[in-house]
Every structure is written in C-alpha cells, then in structure tokens.
Amino acid sequence: MYNSKIAGIGFYVPENVVTNDDLAEYMDTTDEWIQERTGIKERRFAKKHEESTTSMAVEASKIAIERAGIQKEDIDFIVFATLSPDYYFPGCGVLLQRELGIQKTEIGALDIRNQCSGFIYGLSVADQFIKTGMYKNILLVGAEKHSMGLDFTTEGRGVAVIFGDGAGAVVLQPTDDNDKGVLTTKLHSDGSKAEELALISPGAHGGYFHEDKEEKFGFDVTNTKLGDIFITQKMLDNKFHTPYMNGQAVFKKAVQKFPEVILEALDEVGLKSTDIDLLVPHQANLRISQFVQRMAGLNDEQVFNNIQKYGNTTAASIPIALCEAWEQGKVKEGDLIVLAAFGSGFTWGSALIRW
Ligand code: UT7
C-alpha cells in the first residue's frame, strides 16, 4: 500500500474584488455587520459570461500540474468537488478534462457533491485510489462560482454576503514513505438536517419530502400533467432557486463537529492537537475558525485563515487556503497539516497530512 502525497498545488481567484460596501449598494447591510459576524472584508466574483466554475478550475489545475512537475497528459484520474457546477449534468469533471485538452487520454472523471466538505471527501476518495495503486497522478479540484446563484437583495443578505468565487487544485501521487502524505481521512454526515443549508429547487423531488409542497416549494400539486417541468414560475417568484441557510443551526453544529472530527483523526494516528503545525479549516466564517481554534487549544500560528479576502468559497476554500499558506512558507516539509470542514448535508470531515 502507498500513501498519497500532494505533489503540486495551485489556486485561482477572479480579479474582480467585491467589498462589503459594494454589496451594501444592493442590499441593506454594512461593512461593520459583515466583518463582525463573519470576518469577511471582501470576496472575488467571476466575470459573469467569461468565467465559469470549470474555467477557474482549469487555471488552478495548470498551476498544480506544473508544480507537480508533470504534463497534463500524465493525469490519470480527475476528482471534482463543487456545489455550483456549470451544468445540472454532466458534472464539471468531464468539462475540466475537455478544457485542459486531455480528452484523448479518456481518463475517468468523478464529481463530488459534498458542498463545504467536498474537497475532504474528494481527498479521501482519491487517497484510496492511490493507496491501492490504481492511479498515480490524480487531479483533485474544488471550485465554485457562487456569484451567479445568490439573492443580492435584502431578503438574501444572510447568505449572499458570505460567499465568494474561486478554485483550488492539487495533484496527488503515491509515495513509498508511510510516514508521509495523507495519514488518515474521516468522513461523516447527518442527513436529518439536509434542508437546513440547501438549494432544493429546481430538483426532481416534486415536493416528495415536504407536506407543504405548494406553499413552501412552489409546486402546483392540484393540476399535474405529464410534461410539467420541474421549474415553476412560483419557484422563480419566491426565489426558491437561491440557497436557503439556517445560519444559526449551521453555526452551532459546525463548532461542535469541527473539533470532534479533528480529534477523531488525531486519535487514530496517536497524535495530539499540540502536534499540529497548521490547521487549515474550511473558510466558513472567521468566528467558526476562531471557536474551533479555542476548542482545540491551538495558538494563532497554528491556524490559517484567508476568509477575510475571499469569503466562503465552499469546496474551493481548503485548497485555496492550503495553497496560499504553502506559498507563504507556512507549510514545510515534515509539518503535520490538518484539514477540516463542515457544511451542507450536513457533512463534515477531516484529513491529516504529513507534508
Ligand atoms: O460553509 C457553509 C456553512 N455555512 C456556515 O458555516 C454559516 C454558519 N452561520 C453563520 O456564519 C452565521 O449564522 C451568519 C453569518 C450566516 C449569520 O450571522 P448570525 O449572527 O447568525 O445572524 P442571524 O442570522 O441570527 O441574524 C441576526 C440579525 C437578523 O436581524 P433581526 O432579526 O435580529 O432584526 C438578520 O436579519 O442580522 C440580520 N442580518 C443582517 N444584517 C445586516 C442577516 N444578515 C445580515 C446582513 N447585514 N448581511
């Protein structure tokens, strides 16, 4: 069995900086409120018609591939995590393969739908493929273009101010050194809270899970006929196509599950939180990261945050933060790096990496 190591890492964020004051022109919010509740000062938004989730992933991937010292044709599998795919289907994995220009190699491409935990779920999956020797150069990407899916009116302010666009990518390769690379990954979920942070319509559910199909989800249940489409005017009028988040419920569960899943991973390999060189948490909210830092007894040097500049980029936030930390010299050979995430599903997870 091999361990998988990160051989190359890259990230891309759009040029366009959107400040809290910029958002305040569209909704009733303030820079003060956003900074105090989330720590976010600004975020990046992609060019509406010239950049996509996949195009940002291409940019991040090119950097990761170059830093891994390989050619794009050497990639033998793609894992793509996003909640904001370019198309409903097919997923972004195949689009990335095409846009990188490696369709001739006909490699497999897998899409991961675990939102904020997407990168960790993807890492865990890729790690298993590398461990068994099935693949030697896996391209793992987390990318999001939130800016086209949010409600930028006052009604949507509780969600819209948090999210930003961007992409992060890593190339995973096998190593014979059992003390190096991914030491363990831990994955969890609790589907009973699926709708607490969700974008459920349009979808093929037809209101199946909900008694109040018509009022709450915009389905006309009295007048159905074959050929009814799953997007109704009522859904659009009521903005059911933008995300819903019970922010406080997510916050409460996140601050419980983040430390739990970090300790679970450390316990498994016989390490303690004092052994952590750098925790790179999913950049959900600076207050959540600070809470987790306190709960795990870590000092400021042991935790990396960049949500202030990029907002919450969901599946992209961990690879973007990990790459930026690495570029700043905060991730060094032999360091114990901990990744952890919590979000929609609810899903959560952690990964320990000996760099
Ligand atoms: O990565 C995905 C996982 N997501 C998360 O981890 C998010 C976790 N949750 C959070 O980060 C926080 O719950 C939020 C930042 C989303 C919201 O902060 P909060 O302290 O929980 O605020 P709240 O939703 O309880 O709202 C408090 C007040 C409300 O007004 P009233 O009812 O007290 O008059 C909101 O209407 O703040 C109001 N509010 C805003 N005011 C100004 C909500 N959003 C805004 C806003 N600007 N953007």
Q: How confident is the model at residue 228, as a pLDDT? A: 66
Q: Establish whether residue 253 lines the binding site of ligand 1, counting it when its CB lies within 6 angstroms of any ligand atom.
A: no
Atom number, ligand 1, closest to the C-alpha of residue 287: 11
Other C-beta atoms lying within 10 Å of the C-beta of residue 62 = 15
Q: What is the pLDDT along the chain (355 residues), one digit of tens a residue?
A: 899 999 999 999 999 999 999 999 999 999 999 999 999 999 999 999 999 999 999 999 999 999 999 999 999 999 999 999 999 999 999 999 999 999 889 999 999 999 999 999 999 999 999 999 999 999 999 999 999 999 999 999 999 999 999 999 999 999 999 999 999 999 999 999 999 999 988 888 887 887 766 666 677 677 677 766 678 788 888 888 899 999 999 999 999 999 999 999 999 999 999 999 999 999 999 999 999 999 999 999 999 999 999 999 999 999 999 999 999 999 999 999 999 999 999 999 999 999 9
Atom number, ligand 1, closest to the C-alpha of residue 342: 3
Whether residue 55 contacts residue 12, with contact meaning beta carbons closer than 8 Å, is answered with: no
Q: How confident is the model at residue 215, as a pLDDT? A: 66
Q: Establish whether residue 37 lines the binding site of ligand 1, counting it when its CB lies within 6 angstroms of any ligand atom.
A: yes
Among protein residues, the one whose CA lies closest to atom 25 of ligand 1: 248
Q: How confident is the model at residue 227, as a pLDDT? A: 67
Residues 6+ apart with CB under 8 A from 28: 154, 157
Among protein residues, the one whose CA lies closest to atom 17 of ligand 1: 247
CATH 3.40.47.10-classified regions of the chain? 3-175, 181-194+245-354
Return the closest-CA partner of residue 2 out of 173, 252, 187, 232: 173
Atom number, ligand 1, closest to the C-alpha of residue 247: 13
Q: Establish whether residue 312 lines the binding site of ligand 1, counting it when its CB lies within 6 angstroms of any ligand atom.
A: yes
CA 247 to centroid of ligand 1, rounded, Å: 6
Whether 146 is catalytic is no
Q: Establish whether residue 284 lines the binding site of ligand 1, counting it when its CB lies within 6 angstroms of any ligand atom.
A: yes
CATH fold for domain 3-175: Peroxisomal Thiolase; Chain A, domain 1 (3.40.47)
Among protein residues, the one whose CA lies closest to atom 14 of ligand 1: 247
Assign domain 181-194+245-354 to its CATH superfamily: Thiolase/Chalcone synthase (3.40.47.10)
Rg (CA), the chain: 20
Q: How confident is the model at residue 235, as a pLDDT? A: 82
Q: How confident is the model at residue 204, as a pLDDT? A: 84
Is-above-0.75 flag for pTM? yes
Q: Establish whether residue 281 lines the binding site of ligand 1, counting it when its CB lies within 6 angstroms of any ligand atom.
A: no
Among protein residues, the one whose CA lies closest to atom 9 of ligand 1: 247
Q: Which strand (E) or helix (H) includes residue 173?
A: strand 166-175
Whether 178 is catalytic is no
Q: Establish whether residue 157 lines the binding site of ligand 1, counting it when its CB lies within 6 angstroms of any ligand atom.
A: yes
Q: How confident is the model at residue 236, as a pLDDT? A: 87
Q: How confident is the model at residue 213, as a pLDDT? A: 67
User: Any idea what the Cα angle at residue 127 is, between residues 186 and 129, rounded to 5°?
Assistant: 130
Q: How confident is the model at residue 230, as a pLDDT? A: 73
Whether 188 is catalytic is no
Q: Establish whether residue 247 lines the binding site of ligand 1, counting it when its CB lies within 6 angstroms of any ligand atom.
A: yes
Which of 3, 114, 282, 323 is catalytic? The answer is 282
Distance CA 76, CA 92 (A): 16
Residue labelled with tokens 């009973």: 192
